Every structure is written in C-alpha cells, then in structure tokens.
Chain A
Amino acid sequence: EAQVTQNPRYLITVTGKKLTVTCSQNMNHEYMSWYRQDPGLGLRQIYYSMNVEVTDKGDVPEGYKVSRKEKRNFPLILESPSPNQTSLYFCASGRGQQPQHFGDGTRLSIL
C-alpha cells in the first residue's frame, strides 16, 4: 500500500529541546516536502526536496532544518523549538514536483 508515514503523530515538548519528526515514503518518489497547517493560514511549505541531497526553502523555513540522505526519508528537525512552532505538520511525496500523497500529520505542542 502506498504510504507516507510520519512519526510521532503527537508530541508535547518544551522550548529549546531538540526534536525530529520523521517522514518515510514507500513509493520511490523523488519529490518530498514539509508543511505546517495553522488555523486561518492554510498550509505553508517549510522545505522541499527534489531528490537525494537536494533541498530548498519553502515559504516558512526559519527555525527548521531538513536532510535528504536517502530517497525514502525526509526528516524535519527543530533544533531549538519555540512556542510559535506549535502546529500541525504534514509531510508529502510525489513524482515530478507535486505532492501527491500526504502523511496523516504530526501535532506538535511546544510549551
């Protein structure tokens, strides 16, 4: 079954404590991307990757890091999380440069 898997699904943590949200896809897609969803703002792209070792900033990259060492994985790293990064996060993958499959989301609360 085609899947984009995010972990964890829920996380409550404190300001400044480094965290990583993992994303894995089993469809051999070149394109992967991360989004945050906030009420009234829709989805905003954080980072995207066109292929292994190729990453670019989206609209809201500040405070986030990504890496693409393998085709199937695209982790999102928050080195020093702050409360304004409390949000619902989605990872997506696809062929070409469009996200066709989204994960089920990760709800982060940073206190």
Chain B
Amino acid sequence: GQQLNQSPQSMFIQEGEDVSMNCTSSSIFNTWLWYKQDPGEGPVLLIALYKAGELTSNGRLTAQFGITRKDSFLNISASIPSDVGIYFCAGLTGGTSYGKLTFGQGTILTVHP
C-alpha cells in the first residue's frame, strides 16, 4: 500500500521552543490530516487540509498542504508541557479508494519544562 514517511521520529525540546515535523509520500493525496495521541487514548484530530498550498492554523499549530500534494508539515510555536505526545500525519486517497486513509509512523514529542 501507500506509505507516508514522517520525520523526525522523535524530538526532545525545551518549553518555549518551536517545533516542526513533516510527512512526505511518493503518492498524491486529496486531503492531509494531522492528529495528536496522548498515552492511553485515541488520536485527536488537530488540523485538516483540503487544497494544495493551503495553510491552516489552530491556535499555536500551523499546518500546510504541499504544492505537489505529496507532502505536508506541522509547526507548533512556543511549545508547552501539554504538547507532549505522538503526532501523526495522515493522507486521504481519492478516486476509487475514496475514504482510504494512510498514516505516518508518528513523531514522539517530549517537552522539558
């Protein structure tokens, strides 16, 4: 199946620093989604992107849908301890596989106070 390469795999940062992570694929996606997962819980949808070039913010989070439709990035500004968790990108396929979702491997974020 399709694969998403998410990087970095993990990040250790100080509180207040900005964070950037990205996903790349060899395939085109119609929608990019970013999720956060806290320990012992299901993922929570952070941002959804629907058009190539689209830049969307949700509080301190900003995500962009790459022009080629094969990549996306997520930035977190001024990190705080509650940003700790695993962040996943996901791409939605169109066409005959409408509704098929592929996830990246995740970025584990640790924030030191």
CB < 8 Å neighbour of A45 from B33, B43, B102? B102
A residues touching B (Cβ–Cβ < 8 Å)?
4, 31, 33, 35, 40-45, 48, 50, 56, 58-59, 90, 92, 94, 97-105
Chain A residues whose CB sits within 8 angstroms of the CB of B99 once the complex forms: 31, 33, 48, 50, 56, 97
**Chain A to chain B contacts (Cβ below 8 Å), 12 pairs:** A33-B99, A42-B103, A42-B105, A44-B103, A45-B102, A90-B42, A90-B43, A98-B101, A101-B45, A102-B44, A103-B42, A104-B40
Chain A residues whose CB sits within 8 angstroms of the CB of B65 once the complex forms: none
Min C-beta distance of B59 to chain A, whole Å: 17
**What is the size, in residues, of chain B's interface with A at 8 Å between Cβ atoms?**
25
What sequence of 0s and 1s flags, for each residue 85-102 of chain B, a beta carbon within 8 Å of any chain A beta carbon?
000101010000111111
What sequence of 0s and 1s flags, for each residue 2-36 of chain B, a beta carbon within 8 Å of any chain A beta carbon?
10001000000000000000000000000101000
A-B CB pair tally, cutoff 8 Å: 66
Chain A residues whose CB sits within 8 angstroms of the CB of B6 once the complex forms: 42
Chain A residues touching B, majority SS: strand
Which residues of chain B from 57 to 113 have a CB within 8 Å of any chain A CB?
88, 90, 92, 97-106
CB < 8 Å neighbour of A48 from B40, B100, B106? B100
Chain B residues whose CB sits within 8 angstroms of the CB of A40 once the complex forms: 105
B residues touching A (Cβ–Cβ < 8 Å)?
1-2, 6, 31, 33, 40-45, 48, 88, 90, 92, 97-106
Chain B residues whose CB sits within 8 angstroms of the CB of A45 once the complex forms: 100-103
Min C-beta distance of A7 to chain B, whole Å: 14
Min C-beta distance of B88 to chain A, whole Å: 6
Min C-beta distance of A12 to chain B, whole Å: 18
Given contacts A42-B106, A43-B88, A97-B92, contact A105 B101 (CB under 8 A): no
| Residue among B42, B45, B92, B103 with max Cβ neighbours from chain A (10 Å) | B42
- Nearest to A49 among chain B residues (CB) is B99
Since A43-B103, A48-B101 are in contact, a sample of 5 more A-B pairs with Cβ atoms closer than 8 Å, ordered by chain A residue number, is A31-B99, A43-B90, A98-B45, A105-B40, A105-B42
